[in-house]
C-alpha cells in the first residue's frame, strides 16, 4: 500500500484528501505544519508528499528544499497561489508537480500516480515506447511516426528524450535548458520554444489540441501522452 503524507493547515482539506485517497487505497498521514512535514518525510518514508505552500511556520518552498536534502520522494505542491513565480520557485526547489487549488480529485490522482511511477526504483525504463502512432526507441536512438523514421537533430532528440523520460512531469524552462543545452543555460527560453515548436511539428502534435506536449505558460512544458511498452 502506498503511503501519502498530506501537509496542509486546513483541517477541511486534510479531511477531504484523506477520505478520497483512502477510498483509492492509499495509506494517509496528515500534518499541519512545515516542521512536521520535514520530520514526517524523514521518519515515515512516505512514497508521496502532497504539500500546501501556505503553512503557518515554514514556507512550502523551504519545506521542499529541506526535504530534498535527504530524499528524492515525489512532492506535489497543492496551492491556491497560481502565479508563475510561485510555480517556478516550487518546481525549481525540487517539487515534481504543481496543482492549483481548487482541483479535481481525478486530476490529482493521475498526477500522483505519474509521480510515484517515475520515482519507482530498480525497474529500468522500457527501451521502446509507443504513443499512438509515435514510437520512441531510446536504446536504438530511433524515432518513428506511422512506421516512418523521423530525422531529428541531436538537440531535438535530446529534448524528446528529456520529455519521454519524465512523463507527466511539469518541466520548467530552466530545467529543460540545463538538461538539453547544459549547465550554463537557464534563461534562453527563445531557443527552447523554437526547438519545442520544431519538435511538435515533426511529431505531428497540434499545439491547439496537444496530445504529446502541453505548454504551461510562463512555466514550462509537460509530456502528457500515456506511453505503452512497445514489447518488441
Partner 1 sequence: MDEGIDYEGTARITLRAVVIGLLTPAVATVIAYPVAPTRPAISIAVFLLAVVIAAVAGGLWGGLIAAIIASTVRPLVVAEPQLSFRLDDVEDIATGVVFLSVALVVGLLVGQASEDRARASRREREARFLGTLSSTLHTREVPDRVLDEFAEVLLEPFALSRVAIEATLDGTDLRAVARADGDVAGGPRTSVRLLNGDASIGTLVAERPAGGRPFSRDDQLLLEAATRQATAALDRARLDARARIAQLDAETNQLRAAMFSSVTHDLRTPLASIKAGVTSLLDTSVQHDPGQERDLLTTILEETDRLNRLVGNLLDLARIRAGALTPTRQPASMDEIVEVVLARMRPRLSGHTVGVDLPPEPPDVSVDPVQIDQVLTNLLENAGRHAPAGTEIRVSVLWRHGSVQVRVADEGPGIPLEDRDRVFEAFYRGSSIPETPGSGLGLAIAKAVVVAHGGRIWVEDAPAGGCVLAFEIPAEEAFA
The residue ranges that bind partner 1 (CB under 8 A) are 82-85, 102, 189-190, 193, 197, 207-210, 214-215, 217-218
The owner of cell 530552466 is 174
For the purposes of burial, counting CB atoms within 10 Å of the CB of 134, is it exposed (0-12), middle (13-18) or buried (19 or more)?
buried
Q: How far is the CB of 28 from partner 1 (least distance, A)?
A: 23
Cell of 193: 520554444
Q: How far is the CB of 167 from partner 1 (least distance, A)?
A: 19
> What's the distance, CA 84 to chain centroid?
16
Cβ distance to partner 1 smaller for residue 105 or 142: 105
- The nearer residue to partner 1, 11 or 218, going by C-beta atoms, is 218
Compute the least distance from the CB of residue 221 to partner 1, in Å.
11
Residue number with CB closer to partner 1 (85 or 141): 85
Phi and psi at 30, nearest 5°, equal -120, 140
Question: Which residue, 45 or 80, is less far from partner 1 as judged by CB?
Answer: 80
- 167, three cell numbers: 512523463
Axis crossing angle, helix 60-68 with helix 84-93, rounded to the nearest 10: 20
Question: Smallest gap, in angstroms, from Cβ of residue 209 to partner 1?
Answer: 6
Amino acid at each position: 500500500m502506498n503511503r501519502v503524507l498530506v501537509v496542509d493547515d486546513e483541517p477541511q482539506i486534510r479531511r477531504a484528501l484523506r477520505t478520497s485517497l483512502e477510498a483509492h487505497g492509499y495509506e494517509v498521514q496528515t500534518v499541519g505544519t512545515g516542521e512536521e512535514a520535514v520530520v514526517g518525510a524523514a521518519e515515515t518514508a512516505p512514497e508521496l508528499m502532497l504539500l500546501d505552500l501556505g503553512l503557518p511556520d515554514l514556507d512550502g518552498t523551504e519545506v521542499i528544499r529541506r526535504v530534498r536534502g535527504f530524499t528524492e520522494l515525489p512532492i506535489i505542491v497543492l496551492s491556491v497561489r497560481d502565479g508563475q513565480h510561485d510555480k517556478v520557485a516550487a518546481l525549481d526547489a525540487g517539487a515534481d508537480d504543481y496543482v492549483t487549488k481548487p482541483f479535481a480529485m481525478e486530476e490529482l490522482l493521475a498526477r500522483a500516480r505519474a509521480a510515484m511511477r517515475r520515482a519507482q526504483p530498480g525497474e529500468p525504463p522500457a527501451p521502446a515506447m509507443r504513443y499512438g502512432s509515435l514510437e520512441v526507441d531510446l536504446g536504438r536512438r530511433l524515432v518513428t511516426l506511422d512506421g516512418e523514421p523521423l530525422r531529428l537533430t541531436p538537440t531535438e532528440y535530446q529534448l524528446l528524450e528529456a520529455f519521454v523520460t519524465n512523463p507527466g512531469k511539469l518541466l520548467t524552462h530552466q530545467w529543460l535548458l540545463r538538461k538539453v543545452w547544459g549547465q550554463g543555460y537557464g534563461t534562453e527560453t527563445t531557443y527552447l520554444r523554437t526547438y519545442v515548436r520544431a519538435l511538435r511539428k515533426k511529431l505531428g502534435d497540434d499545439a491547439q489540441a496537444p496530445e504529446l506536449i502541453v505548454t504551461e505558460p510562463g512555466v514550462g512544458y509537460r509530456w502528457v501522452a500515456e506511453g505503452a511498452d512497445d514489447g518488441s
